[in-house]
Amino acid sequence: LEEAAFQLQQIFRIDISIALNILGIESMRAGHCRVAFTCFKLAADRGYSKAQFNVGLCYEHGRGTEKDLEKAGFYYCQAASSRHPMAQYRYARYLLQHGPGSLHDRHHKAVALLEQAAGAGITEAQAYLGVFYMRGLQPQEKRGLKYLLQAANSGDAQSRYHVGVCYEQGLGVQQNLAEALRHYQQSAAAGNGQARERLRA
């Protein structure tokens, strides 16, 4: 009986968190940012990762509360520890730009989070890693190209442009101007200005 009561309590707790998070999303859409933040925070403090991510967004952008990057990082970290892919991406960015601790430790943890987020299909993480591996102190061009292609195939026009650069310059792949042209054309068609410039050149 105790076990059944505990299970019911857990279900009730999760359902309340889901409802609060949905109410927060609807309130945000209606422009009631303070109400939205309150709903997200209540659900987040019950351990609901989607709400923790939303609280992070509110703190990062100052929606419904004062802007506070440290608090944003805290909530992104909580959601990321529950394997929320977009929170993993945001927390990784936070670690690289503002996080506590040594640069080496932050860098190592951030890359691991970005890898997880990219593996879960987060286009922003794929694009970030692609550029990161291409431009690092010790470039890993093949690895960078792999992530740029993933992001490009998810519709990211900027990554498609970078793939074109890789083919034009032979970075991580054998140089192929026809293939570079194809990627520049696709990127330009999706509205990328750099690709249009490259095509003119």
pLDDT in tens, 170-194: 999 999 999 999 999 999 999 999 9
pLDDT, residue 106, reads 85
Q: Which of 139, 131, 59, 143 minimizes the C-alpha distance to 96?
A: 131
The whole-model pTM stands at: 0.83
Q: Does domain 123-200 have CATH number 1.25.40.10?
A: yes
The 10s digit of each residue's pLDDT in 99-158 is 677 777 888 899 999 999 999 999 999 999 999 999 876 789 999 999 999 999 999 999
The 10s digit of each residue's pLDDT in 138-147 is 789 999 999 9
Per the model's pLDDT, the better-predicted residue between 146 and 9 turns out to be 146
Residues contacting 182, CB < 8 A, separation 6+: 164
Q: Identify the burial level of 12 via C-beta atoms within 10 angstroms of its C-beta, where 0-12 means exposed, 13-18 middle and 19 or more buried.
A: exposed
Locate the domains of the chain by residue range: 123-200
Q: Give me the residue label for tokens 């061009």.
A: 141
pLDDT, residue 10, reads 61
Q: Using a CB cutoff of 8 Å and minimum separation of 24, what contacts does 120-123 make?
A: 120/85, 120/88, 121/85, 121/154, 122/85, 122/86, 122/88, 122/89, 123/150, 123/151, 123/154, 123/155, 123/156, 123/159
